[in-house]
Amino acid sequence: MAGKRSEEGVGLSGELAARVPQLLDAMRSVGTGLELHSTLDRICETAAELAGAEYAAIGVVAEDGDGLSDFVYHGIDGATAERIGRLPDGHRGLLGALIHHPEPVLLANLTTDPRSCGFPPNHPPMRSFLGVPIRVQGEIFGNLYLTEKHGGAEFDEDDLSIVRVLATEAGIAIGNARLYGAARQRERWIDGSVAVTTALLSGGAAEDALQVVAEQARGLSDSAAGLVLLPAAEGGLEVVAVASQDHPEGAGGVIPPESQIAALLLAGEPVFLEDAATDPRVLSELVRRFGPVMLLPLQSEGRVLGSLVTLRERGARTFTEAERTLAGQFAAQAALALKMAEAQRDRERLAVYEDRDRIARDLHDLVIQRLFATGMMLEGAQRKSGDPAVQQGVGKAVDELDVTIQEIRTAIFALQQGPAEAPSGLRTRVLREINTAAVPLGFKPAHRFVGPVDAVVGELTGKNLIAALREALSNAFRHAEATRIEVVVDATVPLPDGRPGVRLTVADDGVGIPEGGRRSGLRNLKRRAESLGGDSWYGPGIGDEGTGASVVWQAPY
């Protein structure tokens, strides 16, 4: 039976007809749920049960039709998968052949097939093989593979027929899951664009707004890091905002002007790297440590304001066409918001200049003239008075008026200078982060301040506290599924060593971190606190039955 292919059409007689009820149950199971990866898992498990196979897998064909972009399997435990190592990429062997010739295949012993290239070390033995293509809306999505029929038997035509029916239903389920996933993805990017626009137009410090852009881009693109670059004075592009849990350093780095990538970005062209570590165009060590990278110009009305960069770890999947399109739209929206924020700041600055000019004119034309006239009258009265005490008192008054006139002239000069932008207080920046987080959360977190927050907390501690708050709110949005969040900033906390400190507490009523869940964000918060001589920890939340989680971060002033 080796190499045997099925004829077109599905017959329903004999043993196959007896399996129809099981097939109908399997089709109902496959059609439930809308999340793509869980749908693929369910298809693998259902197909294995239906055909009596030990192992099942789905290889998702890459967008360019060359190799696999994803490989979902059933029947191999985690320890075995770890020993095997890298998943099949579909560039060679039987799996590669089925990508280029997507037809149903039955093999009694796949190891003897000339298209087979063997198994990697620690791979379980597999002989009998059944493969069918999965089509979504007429296009090849991938292939469903089954191996090792129970009892050492071979897959037969009945198995192939029934699995082909299941593959057809799987194509419908995958199509629905894809549409749902694309809709959710677009919704998330739109929410991110709203959050960025809100941050940029809130009137806060430009560096804080750019940090929000980097954070949103990193989270929305499922990347390890997000960067915002602006044109450097000496040429090239300078990193001005970094959002990363595992790579927090990098601000101040530069993509040199001689870089081909910098030239393309400054010309308004996006750049996509499959692997930054091996791409010869990469001259920056900051980027070279990563794998797939997406570099997008922040461009509005033909003017390049900077660049948005998202970076994935080495070995991670490349950015899909849909992700590139959504990220490009996000970058265009962020660039427009940047330009609007710049125009808004210019208008506000112009209004301040105009107001200061008016005040300066009023002081010069009205107040100084009146004071000068008053001084002249007092000097006339001084000359007419014959009382030495009165003359002395009037003389002192005239001197005071002269000093006042000089002080007003100094004030007029200062008013005519450019207004220095005073940094926002910590309270204002905390409220800005809360308002920004309210957009994707769908509700506004409660907040409370204790003690003279703005007066006692220094700039370095305040900057790290804002970064910790942003990380905690971002985690609550992405993972907690919370309906209530409380933020408390307490500037009256004594640290264990007796020094005065400030404590940030972000508590929610969500699901908390699952057992074995990622805690890299918490470790990053702890590193930030410890670098200042403080601490950070994870505690219970504010749910009615002790559910949820709270992140506590504290540091000295």
Pair type for strands 53-61 and 139-149: antiparallel
Q: How confident is the model at residue 120 (pLDDT cuts 50, 70, 90)?
A: confident
Q: Look at residue 1 in the predicted model and tell me its pLDDT.
A: 38
Cα–Cα distance, 311 to 295 (Å, whole number): 9
**Average pLDDT of the residues of the chain:** 82
Closest listed residue to residue 155, CA positions, set 115, 121, 109: 109
pTM score of the predicted model = 0.50
Phi, psi of 370 (to 5 degrees): -65, -40
Q: How confident is the model at residue 556 (pLDDT cuts 50, 70, 90)?
A: very high
More confident residue, 428 or 416: 428
What three-state secondary structure class fits 154?
coil
Q: Look at residue 43 in the predicted model and tell me its pLDDT.
A: 86
Q: How confident is the model at residue 146 (pLDDT cuts 50, 70, 90)?
A: very high
Q: Look at residue 10 in the predicted model and tell me its pLDDT.
A: 42
| 113: exposed, middle or buried (Cβ count in 10 Å: 0-12, 13-18, 19+) | middle
- The token pair at 259 is 């870089």
Query: Are the CB atoms for 36 and 174 separated by under 8 Å?
Result: yes
Q: Look at residue 352 in the predicted model and tell me its pLDDT.
A: 72
Q: Look at residue 500 in the predicted model and tell me its pLDDT.
A: 93
Q: Give the Å distances, CA to CA, from 100 to 57, 95, 96, 473.
A: 18, 9, 7, 46
Encode pLDDT of 270-283 as tens digits.
999 988 888 888 87
Q: Which residue reads 């500037």 in tokens?
A: 491
Mean pLDDT of 314-343: 84
Q: How confident is the model at residue 407 (pLDDT cuts 50, 70, 90)?
A: low
More confident residue, 363 or 449: 449
Max CA-CA distance within the chain?
136
Encode pLDDT of 440-462 as tens digits.
788 889 888 888 888 889 988 99
Encode pLDDT of 148-205 as tens digits.
998 888 998 888 988 888 888 888 888 887 788 778 888 888 888 888 777 777 766 6
Encode pLDDT of 523-548 as tens digits.
888 888 998 999 999 888 887 666 78
Q: What DSSP assignment string belongs to 242-311?
A: EEESS----TT-EE-TT-HHHHHHHTT--EEES-TTT-TT---HHHHT-SSEEEEEEEETTEEEEEEEEE
Spatial neighbors of 40 by CB under 8 A, at least 6 apart, are 58, 60, 70, 72, 174
Q: Residue 143, Cα to own-chain centre: how many angstroms?
A: 32
Query: Are the CB atoms for 467 and 433 separated by under 8 Å?
Result: no
| 353: exposed, middle or buried (Cβ count in 10 Å: 0-12, 13-18, 19+) | middle
| Residue 177 host element (H or E) | helix 157-200
